[in-house]
Amino acid sequence: MFKIFCYQSAADSAISYDGHRGIVFGTVVAAQQQTKQTREAIMSEYQGSCFCGTVKFQVSGAPEAMGYCHCDSCRRWSAGPVNAFSLWPIKNLQVLSGADQVGEYHLTEQSYRKWCKHCGGHVFTDHPAWDLVDVYVANLPGLTFEPALHVHYQESVLPIRDGLPKMKDMPAEMGGSGETLPE
């Protein structure tokens, strides 16, 4: 099953159904599932690390989803205008070194954000309710980033005209409106 979501904002939002959900997203799901199957056939492993290299980790298999999040929580936490995410089953993530140097903070129960205590570099965010972990694409140099969509685009401060679907908040499958916005 395809899963996609983002962090705190969607849970805090009450959004009405607009009648368009599922159409654009369904196409995205089909395309990404096909890509995922291709990747799974290869059974890849990807290594990553924090900014200083103390925390090293590995993810295996294929991500459940990849894209960009524009939400206020991601932007403030990362101090960046947009966050590129890749979502994996938590069991597919293995910390290879520096596990005792991984700091953790959660503003809500949805997102356990983690970083290296030595350098402050962000590494990943657990989403326990969905059994997924967001490993920041910036920290996975070997991963071919194939973004499928943008989420929380209504909060964007950096419009990106790349032709990908712009979800107003989140896909309906993850409790959002499923509504898309123009670029």
Residues that bind Zn ion in the complex, under the rule CB under 5 A: 6-7, 50, 52, 54, 69, 71, 74, 116, 118-119, 121
**Residue 167 beta carbon to Zn ion: minimum distance, rounded to whole angstroms:** 11
**Residue 20 beta carbon to Zn ion: minimum distance, rounded to whole angstroms:** 22
DSSP, residue by residue, the chain: ------HHHHHH------S-TTHHHHHHHHHHHHHHHHHHHH--EEEEE-SSSSSEEEEES--SEEEEE--HHHHHHHTSS-EEEEEEEGGGEEEEE-GGGEEEE-SSTT-EEEEETTT--EEEEEEGGGTEEEEEGGG-TTS-----EEESGGG-SS---SSS-BBSS--GGGTS---B---
**Would you say 40 or 104 has its CB closer to Zn ion?**
104
**Would you say 14 or 41 has its CB closer to Zn ion?**
14
**Would you say 28 or 71 has its CB closer to Zn ion?**
71
**Residue 75 beta carbon to Zn ion: minimum distance, rounded to whole angstroms:** 8
Q: Are 33 and 2 in contact (CB under 8 A)?
A: yes
**Would you say 29 or 87 has its CB closer to Zn ion?**
87
**Residue 55 beta carbon to Zn ion: minimum distance, rounded to whole angstroms:** 5
**Residue 43 beta carbon to Zn ion: minimum distance, rounded to whole angstroms:** 28
**Would you say 55 or 62 has its CB closer to Zn ion?**
55
Written as six digits, the tokens of 51 are: 């900014």
Q: Distance between CA atoms of 161 and 172, rounded to whole angstroms?
A: 23
